[in-house]
A and B are shown apart, each in its own frame.
Chain A
Amino acid sequence: MSIEVDEVKKIAKLAALNVDDADLQSYATNLSNILDLVAQMDAVDTTGVTPMSHPFDAVQRLREDKVTEVDRREAFQKIAPNTEDGLYLVPKVIE
């Protein structure tokens, strides 16, 4: 399976990554190679095997529903670039 340069651009955009035009072709080749590897593994018969969702053979521990956190807004907002009235300010996201 092969990935084209256009797809690399699209994926980069979705992931908000800035990829140099000069590197696009090598990304396309490397990603295609990874997909080829996956395609090879597809040949293995996995009938009856539960898909692995996590490398650890363990199950999720659950937390009791209790409020354990206190207000730490001041500390958190010290490292934010811009705040006002307790809000984090970011570049406008709608027109």
Chain B
Amino acid sequence: MSNEWEVVIGLEIHAQLATKSKIFSGASTAYGAEPNTQTSVVDIALPGVLPVLNKEAVHMAVKFGMAIGAEVSDRSVFDRKNYFYPDLPKGYQISQFELPVVGEGSIDIKLENGDTKTIGVTRAHLEEDAGKSLHEDYAGMTGIDLNRAGTPLLEIVSEPDMRSAKEAVAYMKKIHTLVQYIGICDGNMQEGSFRCDANVSVRPKGQEAFGTRAELKNINSFRFVERAINIEVERQIDLIEDGGEVVQETRLYDSDKNETRSMRSKEEAMDYRYFPDPDLLPVILTEEYRQQVKAELPELPEQKQQRFMDELGLSDYDASVITASLGLASYFEIVAEKTGDAKLSANWITGELSARLNREEIEIDKAAVDAEAFALLLTRIKDNTISGKIAKDVLDAMWNGEGSADEVIESKGLKQITDTGAIEAYVDEVITNNPSQFEELKGGKDKMMGFFVGQVMKMSKGKANPAQVNELIRNKMK
């Protein structure tokens, strides 16, 4: 990327709120139902129906506001955003324009160099989701499924404070973690519960005025956010350097081709003509209510991280990795409690467990070994039943469904040899087979110790206790 250009990014994140029913009707929001089986007269916009606001949707929006230290308004208003599209049966989307529930706040992100950067949150407002359009297979027609229509969304709008795709991803991850911690969104990106639009522009370094921005729509994975932004930045710079001009428009990221392409030019059609929705009255939130919601907030990611460091002695790095996901943090807490060894638990969770999750590209809730079973494995390291090395093999077997740690250790005969006589026999054999190396060891060549321990471990198929082997060899040197 050219050094003369500065990238400016703002994100609009749509978090689907985890309510049971829709924002303005009593229809279910459950994912994956048969098309159009979760719609009410309100969702399909029959004439003469009235939307009634879901209390929990408001509660969740307020929770978010309090969690980011934002102004939560005492009076907020719903507006109609007008446009025509078949998956929006009313001809308008109920959203919030001038008076959103949540006003200005901020989020701190950690940069790659370890510095902290504060990203401004402009606002967060409640709105309803649209239905789904299916463009294939219907004899030249478009199929419409309105199950999603009316699902509550919290749209979280950032300031144009991010200066690279990496910063944008860090911010998005931070929000993703937060909404799950406070229980307002399941964060499931595959199901579209958490998605984002990115406003991207470039300007010459040092210039104050923003360049013209393009809006990248509906990006539903962290990897794609980074790639989409980078490819769009490249496109804009090339365009300008070739004497062209960026037009303000909506663009779609095509992950197969790794390119963005124009969806529709914003200049003409997109005048949404917002006005207050006469079907809904202003929402009034008292200071008492706001304080009550604040008091009910669970431990937030940063607080948890600090506690893990202060009370459990984790490193900054381990604590931040573990608390980046509520699922992982809960898993860790169970393992740490059961084993009574937070550091060992953290090492194994950030190491072996995370490696397996990454390899299979799954989240902790899909892990093949649950926290209790994992804790038992670590307990077997602690009580010297197995070595750490053997424990990795045991974990593999557990991961493949071969039973609990104890069952695997038993069936595979992996129990550490604690019988000194047996280990001593191995030690003697290794010394007999390697007399010159043993002389070197005795002569003060300490590096040889590794060789001898290694040989004995090999003979015992990893089942000897390395500390014990070490001690026995030292005894032989006397």
How far, in whole Å, are A60 and B145 apart by their CA atoms in the complex? Answer: 29
Asked if residues B282 and A60 are in contact (CB atoms below 8 Å), the reply is yes
Asked if residues B142 and A63 are in contact (CB atoms below 8 Å), the reply is no
Asked if residues B284 and A87 are in contact (CB atoms below 8 Å), the reply is no
For A85, the chain B residues whose CB sits under 8 A away are: 35, 143
Asked if residues A53 and B282 are in contact (CB atoms below 8 Å), the reply is yes
Q: B185 at interface (Cβ–Cβ under 8 A)?
A: no
The answer to whether residues A73 and B36 also contact, given A84-B138, A89-B143, A92-B135 and a CB cut-off of 8 A, is yes
Q: Could you list 30 examples of A-B contacts with CB < 8 Å? A: A59-B281, A59-B282, A59-B283, A59-B284, A62-B58, A63-B21, A63-B53, A64-B55, A65-B21, A65-B55, A67-B20, A68-B26, A69-B38, A69-B40, A72-B39, A72-B40, A73-B34, A73-B37, A73-B39, A76-B39, A82-B141, A84-B143, A88-B143, A88-B144, A88-B146, A89-B141, A89-B143, A92-B140, A92-B141, A94-B135
Contact segment of B82-90, B332-340, B392-400, B427-435 = B82-90
Which residues of chain B from 245 to 291 have a CB within 8 Å of any chain A CB?
269, 271, 273, 276, 278, 280-284
Asked if residues B134 and A87 are in contact (CB atoms below 8 Å), the reply is yes
Asked if residues B86 and A90 are in contact (CB atoms below 8 Å), the reply is yes
How far, in whole Å, are A94 and B142 apart by their CA atoms in the complex? Answer: 9
How far, in whole Å, are A38 and B89 apart by their CA atoms in the complex? Answer: 31
Which residues of chain A from 44 to 95 have a CB within 8 Å of any chain B CB?
50, 53-56, 58-69, 71-73, 76-77, 82, 84-94
How far, in whole Å, are A31 and B138 apart by their CA atoms in the complex? Answer: 42
Asked if residues A69 and B145 are in contact (CB atoms below 8 Å), the reply is no
Closest beta carbon of chain A to B290's beta carbon, Å: 15
For A84, the chain B residues whose CB sits under 8 A away are: 138, 141, 143
Closest beta carbon of chain A to B284's beta carbon, Å: 4
Q: A16 at interface (Cβ–Cβ under 8 A)?
A: yes
Closest beta carbon of chain B to A72's beta carbon, Å: 8
For A64, the chain B residues whose CB sits under 8 A away are: 55-56
How far, in whole Å, are A73 and B85 apart by their CA atoms in the complex? Answer: 21
Asked if residues B54 and A16 are in contact (CB atoms below 8 Å), the reply is no
Closest beta carbon of chain B to A46's beta carbon, Å: 15
Asked if residues A88 and B138 are in contact (CB atoms below 8 Å), the reply is no
Asked if residues B57 and A86 are in contact (CB atoms below 8 Å), the reply is no
List the interface of chain A (C-beta within 8 A of B). 14-16, 50, 53-56, 58-69, 71-73, 76-77, 82, 84-94
The answer to whether residues A65 and B27 also contact, given A54-B276, A73-B39, A89-B143 and a CB cut-off of 8 A, is no
How far, in whole Å, are A76 and B167 apart by their CA atoms in the complex? Answer: 47
Q: Which residue, B37, B141, B283, has most C-beta atoms of chain A within 10 A?
A: B141
How far, in whole Å, are A65 and B278 apart by their CA atoms in the complex? Answer: 22
CB-based closest 9 A-B pairs = A68-B26, A87-B143, A65-B56, A62-B55, A86-B35, A60-B281, A89-B141, A88-B144, A69-B27
Asked if residues B36 and A88 are in contact (CB atoms below 8 Å), the reply is yes
Q: Which residue, A54, A64, A69, A71, has most C-beta atoms of chain B within 10 A?
A: A69
Number of interface residues of B (CB under 8 A): 51
Asked if residues A58 and B273 are in contact (CB atoms below 8 Å), the reply is no
Q: Which residue, A14, A88, A94, has most C-beta atoms of chain B within 10 A?
A: A88
Closest beta carbon of chain A to B49's beta carbon, Å: 12
Asked if residues A68 and B21 are in contact (CB atoms below 8 Å), the reply is yes
The answer to whether residues A86 and B37 also contact, given A65-B57, A69-B26 and a CB cut-off of 8 A, is yes
Closest beta carbon of chain B to A76's beta carbon, Å: 6
Q: B133 at interface (Cβ–Cβ under 8 A)?
A: yes
For B276, the chain A residues whose CB sits under 8 A away are: 53-54
The digit string for B140-157, where 1 denotes a CB below 8 A from any CB of A, is: 111111100000000000
Closest beta carbon of chain A to B278's beta carbon, Å: 7
Which residues of chain B from 22 to 74 have a CB within 8 Å of any chain A CB?
25-28, 34-40, 44, 52-58
The answer to whether residues A92 and B142 also contact, given A14-B273, A63-B26, A69-B26 and a CB cut-off of 8 A, is yes
For B278, the chain A residues whose CB sits under 8 A away are: 54-55
Closest beta carbon of chain B to A18's beta carbon, Å: 13
Asked if residues B82 and A90 are in contact (CB atoms below 8 Å), the reply is no
Asked if residues A60 and B280 are in contact (CB atoms below 8 Å), the reply is yes
Q: Name the CB-closest residue of B to A14.
A: B271
Asked if residues A67 and B144 are in contact (CB atoms below 8 Å), the reply is no
Q: Name the CB-closest residue of A to B40.
A: A69
For A66, the chain B residues whose CB sits under 8 A away are: 20-21, 26
The answer to whether residues A67 and B27 also contact, given A85-B35, A86-B36, A94-B135 and a CB cut-off of 8 A, is yes
Asked if residues B36 and A62 are in contact (CB atoms below 8 Å), the reply is no
The answer to whether residues A76 and B141 also contact, given A67-B26, A68-B26, A94-B135 and a CB cut-off of 8 A, is no
For B56, the chain A residues whose CB sits under 8 A away are: 64-65
Question: Told that A65-B57, A69-B25 touch, could you supply 7 new A-B pairs with CB distance under 8 A?
Answer: A54-B281, A58-B281, A69-B40, A72-B39, A84-B143, A87-B36, A90-B86
Q: Which residue, A50, A65, A66, A92, has most C-beta atoms of chain B within 10 A?
A: A65
Closest beta carbon of chain A to B324's beta carbon, Å: 29
Q: Name the CB-closest residue of B to A76.
A: B44
